[in-house]
Every structure is written in C-alpha cells, then in structure tokens.
Chain A
C-alpha cells in the first residue's frame, strides 16, 4: 500500500550490559566483549517491522557510530529492515545533544514519514535523544510507547505514563520512542542473516550531511568524567527457621518503618 513510505529507526550500539561487569584501569569492562544492538532500539525495530508487514512501510535503520558498528547494524538488516545507513565521524564522546543534531540533519535530508527509536539506551539510561530530535524537527512526538497502531493515516501510540496509559494519535511525520516492554524483538534467522548481505548498507560521513562542517566539530556539553562501582548495599540479616521465627522477624522489620503503621 505505501511502500513509498518509510519508517526510520534510529538505533545505537551499546556494550552488552547484561553480561558480567568489572572495573579495570581503563574503565568498565563487560564479559561479552562484543557490542549489541540497544535493547530498546531492537524493540523499536521490531515494532517498525510489524507495522511494515501490516501497512507496507519501508524500514530504514540509521546508526551513528564507528565503521566497526556495521556488524551491529547488519543485525538490524538480518531482522528484516530493508536498508541501513551508518553515520560515521561523530566525536567519540558525543552526548545525546550531539547525536540528536546529527540525526536531525539526516532526517531532514532523508524525509521519513516516521521516526521510531528506543526510549533510552541500555548503557547510560539517559533517554533524551528522542525528545531532542523531535524538538529540532518540530515534529509531534510520543515517548515510552507500549503499543503502536497505524490508523486513519496516523500513528496511535499507547504511552505508559506515571499512573495511567494514554492512546495518543500523531499525524505524519512524527517521532515515537519505545519501551522495551512493547514486544519481544525477533531473533534474526539464518536465512535473514544470509539475506542481509545483499541489502544496501550506506556508510556516510557526517560531514556529508546538510550542515556537515558544523556537525563534525560539535562539542558535547556534557561529559562523563568517571565511572565507579555503585556504593554497595551491605547484605543484612538472613533469617531462616520455623514459621514463627520468620513472622516475628518480619513483624519487627515492618514495625521499624513508621509509614507501615505497624506497631503504632
């Protein structure tokens, strides 16, 4: 129906933060040395693919990263995206603001009908790039999607708020950021992996984008100065024994917190 319409998925490569973490002189190390596709972006891609299957959108994935990130981007193609672009040459310590400006330049040049991306990245948990990008584009945006439908030429997003959920409809073009509770992203199949070799992957230096000279020299306004282990909570008392002992211990514990109203 609308193969000429495109959903752009903005993706990021992150360390595998679910593998074991250790600290070394050079910073934080993960037991899985290979980077992964940010889990929230994988959910965004999954949703884009589902929308594509139902409504015929083309799915294009864009990533800002080093050339090495092409393997992670290929995973997106193996999952089913039609095409991918890797934007290279960003400063290594780029923060969300820098990334959002680079993506804004790409989106303006590319002109997709919607941008779908993760609500945050699984390493820094910052979650700013979506809102920043939307504001640069002056597009309507919806964050923390836990459901997306395409109806009446608009994207309907079920957004998880603080105490309720909202269905918000946005006309195209619009931007959506996804919770990773939206779906279970598909695992690339062997056939998908083999087919991904034949799909177009463009390597574009950010200096080639509109306003590229300025983009290449953007300085991040926030910097991560140090990474330290979280102050550990000391494990407290562990109580084992008969039911009476356990309940006694619990009652004492609850009574020590005035807000429970126990023992007052």
Chain B
C-alpha cells in the first residue's frame, strides 16, 4: 500500500500546495500503515527531492523533463507529460510492488487542486481507469476504499464521496492542511522521460499582464475587491493597503465585469478557490458564487457599508462603513505603526 504525492516541479521553490499534499499523504499513510512516495515531475524535480523527503516521502520517483523555460508550468508543456508520467510510474512501480507483496498492491494518488491539476486530473483517471475524487477537504483511505468530503452546490453542501479500487486519485483543496515536516531517509528512483506527444498542440503565446503573475491559491493574505471599489482612487487605496499588509488582490465576478482587474484574480465558483490565512473582503456583498471560492478562509474580515450584506454572516470581523473613508484612515494607521 502506498500513498503517492504527485508534485509538479517547475518553480524555484516547492509550492505550499505541494507541501500540503505531501503532509496529507504522510497523514493518510500513517493511519493506514502505507508507504509514502513523492512523484516529482518537471524540470526542477531534482532540486525538490530533498524537500519531499523532509516532508515524509520515503520513496522519491523523479521524472526530469526539459520544459521550455518561458512556458514553465503551463499545461501544454508540463501538464500533458504529467499524465504520461503517472501512467509510466504506475506501470514501472506496479512490478516492484508485485514483487514485494502482491496482496498489498494498492495506490492512492494525491494531487493539489491548482488549475494545472484540474487540467489533467480527468485524463489521469481515464488513463489509469481509476476512480477520481477532486477538490476534497478531507479524506480517509484503507487501501481499497476512499471516503472523501468535498463541497458541492456552490459550497453550500458537503458531500461525502466513496470510491473503491486498487488505484484511487484525489486532489486536495489548498490552504487547509498545515504543512508539517517529517524527515525520513528516502530512496531515489530516476526515470527517463517518455517521448512526449503533444498531439499537435502548440503554445502560441503566454499572457502574463503586469501584476498578474500571482498565484492566489498560494497567497497567505488575500484582499478581495468587490463592487464597493469602483474607481482609480479606490484601486490605488487597495494597492497601497496590499503592500502594507503583504496581501495579494483578488476580485469577485461582479467586479471582474467592470474590467478594472485581470481575470486571473477572479475568486469564486467560476474562478479560483482559495483558503488563505486572512481574506479581507472590501465592498464584497457575499454572493453565493463568490463565497464558494473563499468560505474556507481561516479568517475573514469584511468591510461593507451595508450592515445587511451577506458577507457579514461569515466574517469573523465585520466593519460597517464607507471604504473611501476607512481605507485612507487605515493606511495612515498602518504607516504610522511601521514608522
């Protein structure tokens, strides 16, 4: 029995969502006495191997791939090859497992829940003909049965999903599992990259507009901007606040339609799902679609002029007032503290 953390490797630092996947893999494995593996795929796989061992992976499988440097982490260059790699590793390692203990031949594959994963998780499941449970907030596994909790219906309902099989795939929602170090002695296996077949797909252009390179699912502090911010003055105030509290900016769909910010920053059912340490909601009313994308945040502070705004029903701290008065005063207070 083994729990395998599938880790895309294309950045200098391992993403915190990957550390969460490793941590969760170790936790699930310890309750089912399973072995923990890390499957590191991508140009920086070698670099991240020691970190994977530090977080509890006793077997490291490395697939180093050359990826066009500009297009690191994009799906057409990396995503497709993760599917092939997962398939390849399953075949290779199945032989090893058989030799060890054929009766115990079962695998749980854990992924993060980034857009990179969402792009390929279905294909991985189809390739392995194995059940897949995406976007889970909790799970247990006994070797053949997986019981997972996942939010559905715009995060209004928690559904319990069961899957059965010798191979099961799950992706876990980012931000919910505190990464915990658990250093182990690891054995390393290196694999030769399979021939890549992009099926004729070509990356034509990478669009990363200014201030648009942030990966919100990784950010510990997010400032959510809603319709209450509606002009350049407001935008400037938000930018200033963001730099003072080390926050990244996100937007609601209502605000996206105003065209003031990029699509990449959209949080909600139709955008990114985030669970930061702090979600500071500015002028966000709290529509169900938006709440579906941030309701798992550890702390929510909301500022809104409407005391009846639904966002206050889930905010740990609600501030009723005009943003255009509060933000300058808050920025002033923050600046005087820092000074």
Direct A–B touching in the complex (beta carbon < 8 Å)?
A: yes
Please report A residues at the B interface, Cβ cutoff 8 Å.
15, 17-18, 21, 28, 40, 95-97, 100, 119, 122-136, 138-144, 146, 156, 158-171, 174, 179-181, 221-233, 235-240, 243-244, 246-247, 249-251, 253-254, 256-257, 259-263
- Cβ contact of B246, chosen from A96, A144, A259, cutoff 8 A: A259
CA distance A85 to B245 in the complex (A): 54
Is the Cβ of B134 less than 8 Å from the Cβ of A126?
yes
CA distance A127 to B121 in the complex (A): 9
Near A by CB (< 8 A), chain B positions 25-80 give 71, 73-76
**Nearest Cβ in chain B — how far from A68, in angstroms?**
21
> Interface 1/0s, chain B 189-208, versus A by CB < 8 A?
00000000011111111111
Is the Cβ of B333 less than 8 Å from the Cβ of A247?
yes
User: B133 on the interface (CB 8 Å rule)?
Assistant: yes
17 additional A-B pairs beyond A135-B127, A235-B312, A262-B334, beta carbons within 8 Å, are: A17-B156, A122-B269, A124-B153, A126-B135, A132-B125, A133-B126, A136-B126, A140-B200, A143-B118, A144-B119, A223-B161, A228-B157, A228-B158, A228-B160, A250-B330, A253-B301, A260-B246
> Interface 1/0s, chain B 106-135, versus A by CB < 8 A?
000000001110111111111100111111
> Interface 1/0s, chain B 305-335, versus A by CB < 8 A?
0010000111111111100011001100110
User: B264 on the interface (CB 8 Å rule)?
Assistant: yes
Is the Cβ of A247 less than 8 Å from the Cβ of B75?
no
With a cutoff of 8 Å between Cβ atoms, the chain B residues found around residue A127 in the complex are: 118, 121-122, 134
Nearest B residue to A236, CB-CB: B316
- Cβ contact of B202, chosen from A126, A165, A168, cutoff 8 A: A168
Is the Cβ of B152 less than 8 Å from the Cβ of A125?
yes
Of the candidate stretches B90-98, B178-186, B211-219, B231-239, the one touching chain A is: B211-219
- Cβ contact of B115, chosen from A161, A249, A251, A262, cutoff 8 A: A161
User: B3 on the interface (CB 8 Å rule)?
Assistant: no
11 contacts across the A-B interface (CB closer than 8 A): A119-B118, A160-B263, A162-B215, A164-B74, A170-B201, A224-B159, A227-B160, A230-B156, A236-B317, A236-B318, A239-B318
User: B271 on the interface (CB 8 Å rule)?
Assistant: yes
User: B278 on the interface (CB 8 Å rule)?
Assistant: yes
Nearest B residue to A128, CB-CB: B122
User: B9 on the interface (CB 8 Å rule)?
Assistant: no
Summarize A's interface: helix, strand, loop or mixed.
Answer: mixed
With A227-B158, A239-B318, A246-B319 given, is the CB distance from A221 to B130 under 8 Å? Answer: yes
With a cutoff of 8 Å between Cβ atoms, the chain B residues found around residue A122 in the complex are: 154, 269
Residue from A124, A168, A223, A232 whose CB has the most chain B CB atoms within 10 Å: A168
**Nearest Cβ in chain A — how far from B13, in angstroms?**
14
Is the Cβ of B288 less than 8 Å from the Cβ of A238?
no
With a cutoff of 8 Å between Cβ atoms, the chain B residues found around residue A222 in the complex are: 131-133, 161-163
- Cβ contact of B76, chosen from A100, A130, A166, A225, cutoff 8 A: A166
Nearest A residue to B316, CB-CB: A236
User: B103 on the interface (CB 8 Å rule)?
Assistant: no
- Cβ contact of B278, chosen from A133, A223, A228, A259, cutoff 8 A: A259
